Amino acid sequence: MFEGASNLAAGVDKAFDFIFYISAFFIIGITGFMVFILFKFARKRHKQPQQFRGSVKLEVLWTLIPTIIALLMFYYGWQGFKPMREVPKGAMEVNAIGRMWEWEFDYGNGKRSKELVLPVNRNVKLNLISEDVNHSLAIPAFRVKEDVVPGYKNYLWFKPTKLGDYDIYCTEYCGLNHSGMLSKAKILDSAAYNQWLAELKVTKVLPSSEGLALMKKNNCLSCHSMSGAKVVGPPLNGIFGKKSLVVTSSGEKEITIDEAYLKRSILSPNDEVVKGFPAVMQSYKGVVSDEDIQKMVDYLKAQDAE
Shortest Å, Cβ 181 to Cu ion: 4
* Region from 85-93, 123-131, 138-146, 181-189 binding Cu ion, contact rule CB under 5 A: 181-189
**What is 39-89 written as a DSSP string?**
HHT---TT-PPP-----HHHHHHHHHHHHHHHHHHHHHHHHHHGGGG-PPT
Q: Biggest alpha carbon distance in the chain?
A: 96
Shortest Å, Cβ 248 to Cu ion: 36
Is-contact 98 114, C-beta < 8 A? no
* Region from 104-112, 162-170, 209-217, 250-258 binding Cu ion, contact rule CB under 5 A: 162-170
Shortest Å, Cβ 98 to Cu ion: 6
Shortest Å, Cβ 10 to Cu ion: 28
Judged by CB under 5 A, the residue of 97, 170, 221, 236 near Cu ion is 170
**H or E stretch at 300:** helix 290-303
Tell me the sheet residues that pair with 255: 244
* Region from 87-95, 174-182, 208-216, 286-294 binding Cu ion, contact rule CB under 5 A: 174-182
Which of 287, 306, 138, 133 lies closest to 225 in space, CA to CA?
133
Separation between Cα atoms, residue 247 and residue 252, nearest integer Å: 4
174 counts as binding Cu ion under rule CB under 5 A: yes
Task: Report strand pairing: 112-113 vs 102-106.
Answer: antiparallel
Task: Report strand pairing: 183-188 vs 251-256.
Answer: unpaired
* Region from 8-16, 76-84, 165-173, 298-306 binding Cu ion, contact rule CB under 5 A: 165-173
Q: Which CB, 101 or 284, lies closer to Cu ion?
A: 101
Q: Which CB, 125 or 135, lies closer to Cu ion?
A: 135
Q: Which CB, 218 or 227, lies closer to Cu ion?
A: 227
Q: Which CB, 15 or 128, lies closer to Cu ion?
A: 128
* Region from 11-19, 115-123, 169-177, 219-227 binding Cu ion, contact rule CB under 5 A: 169-177
Shortest Å, Cβ 166 to Cu ion: 18
Residues whose CB falls within 8 Å of the CB of residue 232, separated by 6 or more in sequence, listed in order:
222, 223, 224, 277, 278, 280
Is-contact 115 184, C-beta < 8 A? yes
| Burial group, residue 258, by CB count within 10 angstroms (0-12, 13-18, 19+) | middle
Stretch 132-161: interaction string toward Cu ion, x if CB under 5 A = ---x--------------------------
Q: Which CB, 161 or 177, lies closer to Cu ion?
A: 177
Q: Which of residues 222-251 bind Cu ion (CB under 5 A)?
A: none
* Region from 81-89, 104-112, 168-176, 256-264 binding Cu ion, contact rule CB under 5 A: 168-176
Separation between Cα atoms, residue 246 and residue 273, nearest integer Å: 5
295 counts as binding Cu ion under rule CB under 5 A: no
Shortest Å, Cβ 8 to Cu ion: 22
User: DSSP 3-state assignment of 195?
Assistant: helix
Q: Which residues bind Cu ion (CB under 5 A)?
A: 135, 170, 174, 181
